[in-house]
Amino acid sequence: MIRFISYRLLQFPLVLAIIYLVTFMLCWVAPGDPFVRTDRNISQEVKDALRTKYHAQHWYTFLAWYPVNAIRHGDLGPSLTNASASVNDIIRQRLPISVEIGVVALVIATIGGVFIGTLAAVRRDGPLDWISLMVALAGISIPSFVAASVLIAVFAVRFKLFPADGWQPHRFSDMVLPALALSLMPMAYLTRLTRVSMIDILGSDYVRTARAKGLSRTKVIWKHALRNALLPVLSYLGPAAATTLVGSFVIEKVFNIPGLGDTFVNSVQNRDQTLILGSVMVESMLLLAMNLLVDIGYGFLDPRIEV
Amino acid sequence: MTTLAISPTFTDKSDRLWRRMLVNPRLLAGAVALLLVLGSCIATLPWTARDLPPQLDEDGFPLNIHNPFYYDGQDMEHSWNPPSTKHLIDWFGRDELGRPMLSRCLLGGCISLAIGTAAAAIAVVLGVGVGLFSGFRGGWIDGVLMRGVDIMYGLPYILLVILFKVAFEDPLMNLLHSARIANLVVLFLAIGLVSWLTMARVVRGQVLSLKTLPFVEAARATGVPEWRILLRHMLPNLIGPIIVYATLTIPQAILWESFLSFLGIGIAAPMPTWGSLAADGLTPGLNPLEPRWWALLFPCILLVVTLLSLNFLGDGLRDLLDPKREASKI
């Protein structure tokens, strides 16, 4: 276990370095040097000063200096299009919002998916099995921006159950609809995954033994069978985090939430290279950490796995 | 010796395969729905995509005369006409610029499906290439390639797709001298480049188990060159899983495109895709005072039906061709 974790931790910086290089290549070399901007009139002196400050006399000096500075001082540079804010400020403000919604969505997806999936497996071909099928079909076929907009139109505008006046910080009711819309796609996969592996497990010998011993149905299902059925579910949580990230870009735009996804899309369109680099690195780190946690959890849940 | 290369699964069971295909209701429904949608989109292409040659009035100004079914034939007199069954062209209503939604949906379907197919083709080429090579060579090459795939599974794709799209659109435009084609090609590439990972894993797994079978050993023992073993002996046995995962990649790619269109970095107007039509229809379609539901409903229905039938088709084919892998079945 310790070997596995240290191996993965050693891999971590390597992966981050690759992501950094690819991002740098895509956002600097292809559309041009960010310090030669055509949309803003900056005098030559200011440009030179900026270049010297960010070691950007050449692209390779910036390439080498930026990560070193980020690691040594934790400074991701100034936003190139937003004069008043640094990348650190922007990420510090917006990342918590995205993470909050993403975590709530993942929790809804996991609990909902496991619950519906288990019940669907227990009562196969019953009404709950049909509901699970519907959830799965909706999740994989309805684009999340459509689902989110319909949720707003129905629950916020028509029935006025939730505020429709835009995002306010620290208001829980603002988070319900975005999190629900975001959880739809991962929930679809988790429901079907739980159902299939639960059906598998419910047919196994040890479940029959447990029932024959006189354990109650509820206990066998929720304790003995579910524990083993959860393994494939857990292994999907890593990709589910990635799916949630993808969804969050769209959802943040639909609900007008000032999160990191929205910031990233804007920064790409404005060619704000330091903000792009900063947000890609932060998001990648989050995602990689999530995958690592899932792998470690997998090792703990299933002692048979050689990690 | 070539007789040994014939796949044991496909030739002798093929008639049973067809029969089983016909009795699998999901597979059948998926195939029929897909054929209907695909057929009507492609069959109407000559009317939806081609306009009349531009005509000038006597003063030399261009006249606003279009082929009635042209996807971009603007006609402000019919702005937001609701659907009616009187004329074929009004079946799906008109959009804000008076363009027939029917034509836009049909042409959008062609473009959406083209993006899906192109992305799947890229995924097949890359995924099969990497999977074959990695599985067949084994050793450190396999180790490096598969760790690479593992790592890429955890990457924030959406960031890379967006960056890729924005970074390469202008250079491609200069190369191809056409903004529209560059826009399409860069979409194909950006989506295709992130969808080959599952394919590579599946193919590698199959190759690892095929490698130990006697017919491969025999081919190797008789001195068949490596590339020939890969192409003639391995590849035919991999067709099943490749078709299955290619089918499942198409709906994924169509969804990706719709996300990009919604974020404003997908297909460039006025060209439609189902994703961009649905995204454009959101505001008018859900307007509480004056809902223009047809702008949202029709592209969404087509999108949902197509995605579902592709998923059904892929899952059904997997049941038929690859019965061991059921874990992620929808």
**B330 and A140: CB-CB below 8 Å?**
yes
**A30 and B168: CB-CB below 8 Å?**
yes
**What number of other Cβ atoms are within 10 A of residue B61's Cβ?**
8
**B307 and A141: CB-CB below 8 Å?**
yes
The total domain count for chain A is 1
Positions of chain A with pLDDT under 70: 28-42, 83, 302-307
Encoding tokens for residue A109? 């997806």
Which residue out of A145, A264, A266, A269 would a mutagenesis test of the B interface target, given it has the greatest number of B Cβ atoms within 10 Å?
A: A145
Encoding tokens for residue A237? 């949580």
pLDDT for the residue numbered B116: 93
* Whether the Cβ atoms of residue B56 and residue B62 lie closer than 8 Å to each other: yes
pLDDT over threshold 50, residue B299: yes
pLDDT over threshold 70, residue B11: no
* Whether the Cβ atoms of residue A248 and residue B159 lie closer than 8 Å to each other: no
Average pLDDT for B289-300: 88
Distant-in-sequence contacts of A110-115, Cβ < 8 A, 24+ apart = A110/A186, A110/A190, A110/A233, A110/A237, A112/A183, A112/A187, A112/A190, A112/A191, A113/A186, A113/A187, A113/A188, A113/A189, A113/A190, A113/A191, A113/A193, A113/A194, A113/A233, A114/A190, A114/A194, A114/A226, A114/A230, A114/A233
The lowest-confidence range among A49-63, A82-96, B96-110, B272-286 is: A49-63
Average pLDDT for B283-290: 84
B158 vs B214, residue with greater confidence: B214
Q: How confident is the model at residue B15 (pLDDT cuts 50, 70, 90)?
A: low
Residue A106 lies in a domain: yes
Q: Identify the closest residue of chain B to A272 by CA–CA distance.
A: B163
pLDDT for the residue numbered A131: 81
pLDDT in tens, A37-73: 555 666 777 778 777 877 777 778 778 888 888 888 8
A contacts of B147 (beta carbons < 8 Å) = 11
Residue A81 lies in a domain: no
| ipTM here | 0.83
C-alpha–C-alpha distance, residues B185 and B121, integer Å: 13
Distant-in-sequence contacts of B7-10, Cβ < 8 A, 24+ apart = B7/B236, B7/B237, B7/B239, B9/B237, B9/B240, B9/B321, B10/B236, B10/B239, B10/B240
Q: Identify the closest residue of chain A to B301 by CA–CA distance.
A: A142
Q: Identify the closest residue of chain B to A8 by CA–CA distance.
A: B151
Residue A22 lies in a domain: no
Residue B93 Ramachandran class (φ > 0 left, ψ -120 to 50 alpha, else beta): left
**A137 and B330: CB-CB below 8 Å?**
yes
Q: Could you list the residue range(s) of the whole structural domain that residue A200 is in?
A: 87-301
Q: How far off is chain A from B135, nearest CA to CA, in Å?
A: 21
> Which residues make beta-bridge pairs with B94?
B100
Of residues A15, A142, A264, nearest to B304 (C-beta): A142
Residue A277 Ramachandran class (φ > 0 left, ψ -120 to 50 alpha, else beta): alpha
Residues 177 through 206 of chain A touching chain B, CB cutoff 8 Å: 188-189, 192-193, 196-197
* Whether the Cβ atoms of residue B315 and residue B241 lie closer than 8 Å to each other: no
For residue A13, whether the previous peptide bond is cis, meaning omega lies within 30 degrees of 0, is no
Residues in contact with A103: Cβ distance below 8 Å, sequence separation at least 6, in sequence order: none
**B330 and A146: CB-CB below 8 Å?**
no
pLDDT for the residue numbered A307: 39
Share of residues in chain B with pLDDT > 90 (%): 23
**B162 and A268: CB-CB below 8 Å?**
yes
Of residues A19, A232, A284, nearest to B327 (C-beta): A232
C-alpha–C-alpha distance, residues B30 and A141, integer Å: 13
Q: Identify the closest residue of chain A to B259 by CA–CA distance.
A: A250
Does residue A93 belong to the interface with chain B, where contact is any CB pair within 8 Å?
no
Name the residue among A231, A199, A194 with its Cα closest to residue A113: A194
pLDDT for the residue numbered A42: 66
Of residues B251, B259, B296, nearest to A246 (C-beta): B259
A contacts of B286 (beta carbons < 8 Å) = 149-150, 152-153, 157
Token match 């209701």: residue? B25
Q: How far off is chain B from A156, nearest CA to CA, in Å?
A: 11
pLDDT over threshold 60, residue B226: yes
Average pLDDT for B159-185: 84
Residue B51 Cα distances to B69, B95, B120, angstroms: 8, 18, 30
Residue A286 lies in a domain: yes
Residue A173 lies in a domain: yes
* Whether the Cβ atoms of residue B196 and residue B123 lie closer than 8 Å to each other: yes
User: H-type helices in A25-86, by residue range?
Assistant: 44-53, 59-73
Of residues A157, A189, A239, nearest to B153 (C-beta): A239
Residues 148 through 177 of chain A touching chain B, CB cutoff 8 Å: 149-150, 152-153, 157-158
Mean pLDDT of chain B: 83
pLDDT in tens, A224-254: 888 888 887 887 887 788 778 778 888 988 8
**B307 and A31: CB-CB below 8 Å?**
no
Q: How far off is chain B from A214, nearest CA to CA, in Å?
A: 31
Encoding tokens for residue B228? 């020939």
Q: How confident is the model at residue B326 (pLDDT cuts 50, 70, 90)?
A: very low
**A145 and B157: CB-CB below 8 Å?**
no
Q: Identify the closest residue of chain A to B257 by CA–CA distance.
A: A143
Residue A79 lies in a domain: no
Name the residue among A93, A12, A119, A50 with its Cα closest to residue A273: A50
Of residues A11, A27, A284, nearest to B167 (C-beta): A27
Does residue A268 belong to the interface with chain B, where contact is any CB pair within 8 Å?
yes
* Helix, strand, or coil (residue B185): helix
Residue A132 lies in a domain: yes
B303 vs A49, residue with greater confidence: B303
pLDDT in tens, B190-223: 888 888 988 898 899 888 888 888 988 899 899 9
* Whether the Cβ atoms of residue A283 and residue A227 lie closer than 8 Å to each other: no
How is chain B split among helix, strand and coil, in percent rounded to 5? 70, 0, 30
Classify each residue of A11-46 as buried b or exposed e, where b means 16 or more C-beta atoms within 10 Å of its C-beta. eeeebeeebbebbbebbbeebeebbeeeeeeeeeee
C-alpha–C-alpha distance, residues A234 and A106, integer Å: 12
pLDDT for the residue numbered B50: 79
Does residue A78 belong to the interface with chain B, where contact is any CB pair within 8 Å?
no
**Most confident option among A36-50, B120-134, B176-190, B314-328:** B120-134
Which residue out of B34, B37, B152, B158 would a mutagenesis test of the A interface target, given it has the greatest number of A Cβ atoms within 10 Å?
A: B158
Instruction: Tell me which residues of chain B have a C-beta less than 8 Å from any C-beta of chain A.
Output: 147, 151, 153-160, 162-164, 166-168, 170-171, 251, 255, 258-259, 262-265, 275, 278-279, 282, 286, 288, 296, 300, 303-304, 307-308, 311, 326-330
Does residue A68 belong to the interface with chain B, where contact is any CB pair within 8 Å?
no
Residue A203 lies in a domain: yes
DSSP string spanning B16-52? HHHHHHHH-HHHHHHHHHHHHHHHHHHHTHHHHS-PP
pLDDT in tens, B27-43: 888 999 999 999 999 99
Residue A282 sits in a domain of what CATH number?
Answer: 1.10.3720.10
